[in-house]
Chain A
Amino acid sequence: MSTFTTKQVKRLGFLVRIGLTDEEADHLKNDLNVIADSISKIQELDTKDVPPTTNPVPLKAHLRDDTAATPLTLKEALSGAPKTSDGQFVAPRILGSE
């Protein structure tokens, strides 16, 4: 059940913002097909009436009080940034189509 084409791998790469060269996409395609062929076994099991599990431990959400804690300082917040200006993070030009 080979599912992946090079073009599709590149499209998925774009969707998740990983620029892939043709060569790299081609190589990935082969790996992914091997994996997909193997793991497609999950569809063998009859799970029609089985509920999905997102989290293995049954828990109800713990809700926190609306009490403020000390925030990061501006210096801490910016400390890891590749580029900053005027106390803000700098992004390269954002195109309207993005």
Chain B
Amino acid sequence: MLRRRLTVSLSRLEFWEASDMSAENEIVKLSAAQMAQKLASGEVSSRELTQAEINVIAAAEPSIKAFLTVSASRALKEADESDARRAKGEKMPALAGVPIAIKDMIVTKGIETTAASKILKGWIPPYDATVIRKIRAAGMPLLGKTNLDEFAQGSSTEHSAFFPTHNPWDTTRVPGGSGGGSASAVAAFEAPLALGTDTGGSIRQPGAFTGTVGVKPTYGGVSRFGAIAMASSMDQIGPVSRTVLDAALLQELIGGYDANDSTSLPDAVPPVVAAAREGQKMDLHGVRVGIIKQALGEGISDPVRTNFEHTVSLLKSMGAQVSEVDMPALPYSLDAYYVLMPSEVSSNLARYDGMRYGIRVMPPADQEQSAQNMMLATREAGFGPEVKRRIILGTYALSAGFYDKWYGSAQRVRTLIIREFNQAFKSVDVLVSPTSPISAFKIGSEVSGNPMTMYMNDIATIPANLAGIPAISVPMGLANGLPTGFQIMAPQKRDDLMYKPAAAVEAALKQESCADMLSSLKTPWVDQAAHGSDVAATDADQINKAEEAAVEAKAVGARSTREEK
């Protein structure tokens, strides 16, 4: 299987150019499932694998900038522990030894966690998120923390307080957001797997922009304990991967009930791995697919539309029964979302007040040096413009006299949207749409314009968050050399229903083009890593750190120096 894939890949020009691939080079391009097999058979150790990824990270980061923190030293230690457990004959979980990158929105004990915000710069959490506990228990080395739009607010990763992340398909373009760091890291082979958080499309839209698979599980399917809150009623942690099966393996690992999260579902994780394997057989007879009429309106670029229609035809050719579904309230999703989300944000981000963690900025000398003025100065200097915009908007939507008109209305519209989904899922098993109406745009092209232009990026992904249903984005081919994404949504707690057609689409597209899409990505950094010697972990730990320190110093120094402990 592997042999054949590589042979096929080598038929492409870029791989001829890199024909002297070393063994290490091959390793990082494997799927997580394939890595797991090699680890299980003893063909490769977790240490070798982890070191290979660190080498790629060191080579790729100058141009990709996916990581805020590289935890190479710890990762190698964890890899050794994983190898030792295996050597002792311990029964290891499926993904044991496979390294992973974590969006910096998820709390990691002992590893700096910033949500890509100046206000949290330097915070080293004293606890682990539930998903991190599971990942550590599974013996998966943690490569580092990936970049995002500050507090997951944005669709391009340009709103990171520290630096934008670049799209490996075209480094002048954005990787999407907010989880652009995780998506780029996985697309660029810096990590086989990553975790993201998805509040309005932050896993799926970067998946579409980078040619990776991104999953937002059913709300409550994966514990949110330790996921820094953006909008609590919509946030969900999910997998980022290069294959549908990898995503399923990761979801089964991180999913399930958690007594630390009051919104956690008591149900067992749906059988997503089995569903993904079933889908690989490319037989979709009996699967009812609904195309949302309202999701194909204006604003969808022609190449995205073309790829979408082609993918739908592939579904049909595999036996799926395709029909159109009318959801008239769906266009109001974006509006309801941009009331509810900022409202929750305004409250969730109140705790960053310079008292207990993160930076403290004292007011200018001509002002009273009071606690209140300290909070005003800290939050003014610590939050970026997009975060401030949403906090103010949400504060307004919840304020006395406006609550009913804004927050209350949006909550009721949300009910209507949920009802429409319930109605739709009576006649179809899954609903499909393009993940994003466009492909990756140029860095800087949307930042300073009309804010609604950026918000429109999430028009197709937001409804799933409002309704709490699971959704997956799978690559649906390139358009003008850039990836596009196909979104499949399923009813609550039936994540398995979307994995099957997702895996089928993946397999059909691969069969059609004789290769998976990512194999056509030029990855000079992978080749560079393969040619060089091993990067020292302590050096890797310093990647991107100088730049971040400069940003922090500027924020804090603008008003006063950071107070000593």
Q: Using a CB–CB distance below 8 Å, which chain A residues touch chain B?
A: 3-4, 9, 12-20, 24, 28, 31-32, 34-36, 38-45, 47, 50-57, 59, 61-62, 64, 72, 76-77, 79-84, 89, 91-95, 98
B69 contacts chain A at the CB level, 8 A cutoff: no
Write out the residue numbers on chain B whose beta carbons fall within 8 Å of the beta carbon of A24: 388
Q: Which of B220, B356, B368, B416 contacts A95 (CB 8 A)?
A: B368
**Chain B positions within 8 Å of A32 at CB level:** 389, 392-393, 396
Among the listed B123, B376, B412, which residue makes an inter-chain contact with A17, where contact means beta carbons less than 8 Å apart?
B376
Q: Which of B123, B126, B233, B395 is in CB contact (< 8 Å) with A15?
A: B395
Query: Which of A20, A62, A93 is close to B371, meaning CB atoms less than 8 Å apart?
Result: A93
B375 on interface, CB distance cutoff 8 Å? yes
**Known: A19-B379, A34-B450. Is A82-B563 also a contact (CB below 8 A)?**
yes
Cross-chain contact B329 with A28 (CB below 8 angstroms): no
Q: Are A80 and B412 in contact (CB under 8 A)?
A: no
State whether A16 touches B395 (Cβ < 8 A): yes
Question: Which of B350, B409, B469 is A42 in contact with, Cβ under 8 Å?
Answer: B409
* 17 A/B residue pairs, CB under 8 Å, sorted by A: A32-B392, A34-B451, A39-B338, A39-B339, A50-B412, A55-B263, A57-B218, A57-B219, A59-B220, A72-B127, A77-B126, A79-B124, A80-B126, A81-B356, A84-B565, A93-B368, A95-B368
**B452 contacts partner chain A, Cβ-Cβ < 8 Å:** yes
User: Does B372 lie at the interface of the complex (its beta carbon under 8 Å from any beta carbon of A)?
Assistant: yes
10 new A-B pairs (CB below 8 Å) besides A81-B357, A83-B564, A93-B371? Answer: A16-B350, A19-B377, A35-B389, A41-B335, A42-B410, A45-B412, A47-B409, A80-B357, A82-B357, A94-B370
- Answer whether residue B68 sits at the interface, using C-beta atoms and an 8 A cutoff: no
For A47, A72, A92, A98, the residue with the greatest tally of chain B CB atoms inside 10 Å of its CB is: A92
Q: Hey, what's the 0/1 contact readout for B233-274 against A, CB within 8 Å counting as 1?
A: 110000000000000000000000001001111100000000
Interchain CA distance A50-B233 in the complex, whole Å: 19
Q: In whole angstroms, how far apart are the Cα atoms of A79 and B113 in the complex?
A: 13
A92-B370 contact in complex given A9-B392, A15-B399, C-beta closer than 8 Å: yes
Contact A45 B413 (CB under 8 A): yes
The tally of CB-CB contacts under 8 A between chains A and B is: 198
Chain B, range 346-387, C-beta contacts under 8 Å to A? 346, 350, 353-360, 362-363, 368-377, 379-380, 383, 385
Q: Is the CB of B413 within 8 A of A94?
A: no
Confirm or deny: B12 has a beta carbon within 8 angstroms of a beta carbon on chain A. no
Q: Given A39-B335, A45-B329, A80-B123, decide whether A89 and B415 contact each other with a Cβ distance below 8 A.
A: no
Q: Are B336 and A42 in contact (CB under 8 A)?
A: yes
- Cβ of B441 < 8 Å from any Cβ of A? no
Do the beta carbons of B233 and A28 come within 8 Å of each other?
no
Contacts A16-B392, A20-B380; is A57 near B562 (CB within 8 Å)?
no
The reply to whether B233 and A54 contact each other, CB–CB distance below 8 Å, is yes
Asked if A28 meets B392 with Cβ closer than 8 Å, knowing A56-B467, A82-B359, A92-B369, the reply is yes
Taking CB as reference atom, which chain A residue is nearest B556? A82
Asked if B466 is at the interface (CB within 8 A of a chain A CB), the reply is yes
Q: Write the nearest CB–CB distance from A95 to chain B, whole angstroms.
A: 5
- Contacts A14-B376, A34-B450 given: A43-B219 contact, CB under 8 Å? no
Contact A83 B332 (CB under 8 A): no
Q: Which of B408, B452, B468 contacts A52 (CB 8 A)?
A: B408
Give Cα A28–Cα B126 distance, bound, in whole angstroms. Answer: 36
Cα distance A59–B219 in the bound complex, in angstroms: 11
Tell whether A56 pairs with B379 under 8 Å between CB atoms, given A15-B395, A62-B259.
no
Closest 7 CB pairs of A and B: A56-B468, A80-B357, A52-B411, A82-B360, A47-B412, A19-B376, A76-B126
What residues on B are CB-neighbors of A95 within 8 Å?
Answer: 368, 370-372
B376:A35 contact, CB within 8 angstroms: no
Please measure, in the bound complex, the distance between the C-alpha atom of A45 and the C-alpha atom of B413, giving whole angstroms: 8
Contacts of B358 in A (CB 8 A): 80, 82
Q: A32-B393, A34-B451, A91-B371 are in contact. Are A57 and B376 (CB under 8 A)?
A: no
Contact of B415 among A9, A36, A52 (CB under 8 A): A52
Report yes or no: A18 in contact with B412, Cβ–Cβ below 8 A.
no
Which B residues form the contact surface with A (CB < 8 A)? 123-127, 218-220, 233-234, 259, 262-266, 329, 332, 334-336, 338-339, 346, 350, 353-360, 362-363, 368-377, 379-380, 383, 385, 388-389, 391-393, 395-396, 399, 405-406, 408-416, 418, 450-452, 455, 466-469, 492, 562-565
Closest to A93 in B: B370
**Least Cβ–Cβ distance between A8 and chain B, in angstroms:** 8
Min CB–CB distance B297 → chain A (angstroms): 14
Given A17-B379, A76-B126, are A45 and B371 neighbors across the interface (CB < 8 Å)? no
- CB proximity of B420 to chain A, nearest CB, Å: 12
Across the interface, which residues of A come within 8 angstroms of B413, CB to CB? 42, 45, 47, 50
Contacts of B396 in A (CB 8 A): 3-4, 12, 32
- Alpha-carbon gap, A95 to B371, bound state (A): 8
Determine the residue in chain B with the shortest Cβ distance to A84: B565
Chain B residue at minimum C-beta to C-beta distance from A3: B396
Residues of A within 8 A of B372 (CB): 17, 94-95, 98
Contact A12 B399 (CB under 8 A): yes
Nearest residue in A to B122 (C-beta to C-beta)? A80
- Residues of B near A55 (CB, < 8 A) are 219, 233, 263, 468
In Å, the complex CA distance between A41 and B370 comes to: 42
* A13 and B262 contact, Cβ closer than 8 Å, known pairs A18-B380, A80-B358: no
Partner among B259, B336, B418 whose Cβ is within 8 Å of the Cβ of A64: B259
Q: Looking at the assembled complex, report how far the CB atom of B187 sits from the nearest CB atom of chain A, in whole angstroms.
A: 30
Question: With A and B bound together, what is the CA distance between A3 and B218 in angstroms?
Answer: 36
Docked-complex contact B262 and A61, CB < 8 angstroms: yes
**Whole-angstrom CA separation of A31 from B329 in the bound complex:** 25
- Given A14-B376, A39-B335, A93-B371, A80:B124 Cβ within 8 A: yes
Inter-chain contacts of A12 with B (CB < 8 A)? 392, 395-396, 399
Choice from A35, A61, A93 contacting B338 with Cβ under 8 Å:
A35
